[in-house]
Amino acid sequence: MPHRIVVLGAGYSGAIAAGRLAKRLHREEVAVTLVNAEPDFVERVRMHQVATGQELKHRPFREMFAGSGVEVKIAKVTSVDVDRKTVSVAGSSGVETLSFDTLVYALGSGWNAQGVPGTAEHAYELASRPGALRLRERLSRLEAGQPVAVVGGGLTSVEAATEIAEARPDLDVSLVVRGALGDWLSAKGQGHLRKVLGKLRITVHEHADVTQVAADAVATADGRSIPAAVTVWTTGFAVHPIAAATTLDVTATGQIVVDETMRSVSHPDVYAVGDAAYAMGVGDKPLRMSCASGTPMAWQAADSIAARLTGGKLPQAHLKYFNQCISLGRKEGLIQYVTGDDRSVNAVLTGRFAAVYKELVCKGAAWGVANPTLGMPTRRRHVLRDAAAGSAVEALA
């Protein structure tokens, strides 16, 4: 029987991990199954573009993985039993139980309402394609001059506010930030961000802790009422809840605690990548939820699994950051260079060239998912098995 690898979730990290495993291991010896609720890949980093009416390229998983040896199963994960090594999924053919020898958990994250009253009833989210499409429909019905409030101070918030303001200059767009605008950026980065927001006529409300969302406004802790015919809530993400319901060692927020190879510290047959994983980067600093973290985490996990199954050398590279790429509409961008542990330095790239740079990064990430078994100069490795025990042993192929 081949070694059964089940990958849960086909976002950036899950899809890349499945493709890399298929590239590194012989399909006669390893069966890779990729489970995802949607039939095609979602470019999550472009949901602000979807919300403003832009169309993205259609990327069906069955076409992407055709001929790769990866079995694509379109189904929703309903439960995971890491002790019995089974996963329950619900698809068009009903409820099914999948057994695994190795599990790659990449279910990612979703919208986080932060428990603020009124968000569920009145706010819109950009953490999913359905959310982006819902927001697009609502924005299309807004008349000129109506207010749109984007709540949050991170990358998603900035990209959403600038994209909406550029696409709909007739709207009154505001950005509501709990702290100072762009406080994670260098002085040069902050200066450019303020310059672009000014050109787009985006009103910035700093040090505004939103305590309630209503149908026509958001209220802050210091008594301000900010008009909002539409409120876009982008204050962070919440991980998928399934991991917290298992016996896996997870954090208080439900992320799976992993070692430097992306292997669960409590269950050696389970790996976690992307937003679902709590992994340490340079300087013992947790990797942030992002595509920038998820892609190298997927590489690390796939290479570690392949090494352990074949007796190869485990990857030794430490996951480091290089820059933060921020789109500020279609014509402007900001590339903030950072240290390996994600602290901003003085160097930045701005303007039209930065916008092109960010676009190339997005296209490259999507290409890596759409071509999961290409571009990797590595030979397949054989999985050797102990004839008596019937289990994989760590010996060189």
**DSSP code at position 288:** P
The DSSP code sequence of 209-235 is: -EEEE-SSEEEETTS-EEE-SEEEE-S
- Return the pLDDT at 317: 78
* pTM for this prediction: 0.91
CA distance 189 to 345: 9
187-199 and 155-167 helices cross at what angle (nearest 10)? Answer: 30
| 313-324 pLDDT per residue, tens | 998 878 899 999
Instruction: pLDDT band for 397, please (50, 70, 90 cuts).
Output: very low
Burial of residue 260, with CB atoms counted within 10 A of its CB: 0-12 exposed, 13-18 middle, 19 or more buried:
middle
Q: What is the phi/psi pair of residue 54, to 5°?
A: -80, 145
| 164-222 pLDDT per residue, tens | 999 999 999 999 999 999 999 999 999 999 999 999 999 999 999 999 999 999 999 99
Instruction: Report, as an integer, the average pLDDT of 136-164.
Output: 97
CA distance 212 to 215: 10
Burial of residue 58, with CB atoms counted within 10 A of its CB: 0-12 exposed, 13-18 middle, 19 or more buried:
exposed
Is residue 178 within 8 A of residue 262, CB to CB? The reply is: no
Is residue 152 within 8 A of residue 177, CB to CB? The reply is: yes
Instruction: Report, as an integer, the average pLDDT of 351-355.
Output: 95
| 265-301 pLDDT per residue, tens | 999 999 999 999 999 998 889 999 988 899 999 999 9
Q: Which residues are CB-contacts of 49 (< 8 A; sequence separation ≥ 6)?
A: 56, 163
CA distance 106 to 100: 15
Tell me the CATH number for domain 113-233.
Answer: 3.50.50.60
Residue 390 scores a pLDDT above 50: no
Instruction: Report, as an integer, the average pLDDT of 117-124.
Output: 96
Instruction: pLDDT band for 378, please (50, 70, 90 cuts).
Output: low
Q: Are 3-110+237-320 and 113-233 the same fold in CATH?
A: yes
> 3-state DSSP call for residue 254?
coil
Is residue 70 within 8 A of residue 32, CB to CB? The reply is: yes
Tell me the CATH number for domain 3-110+237-320.
Answer: 3.50.50.100
**Where are the domains positioned within the chain?**
3-110+237-320, 113-233
- Return the pLDDT at 78: 97
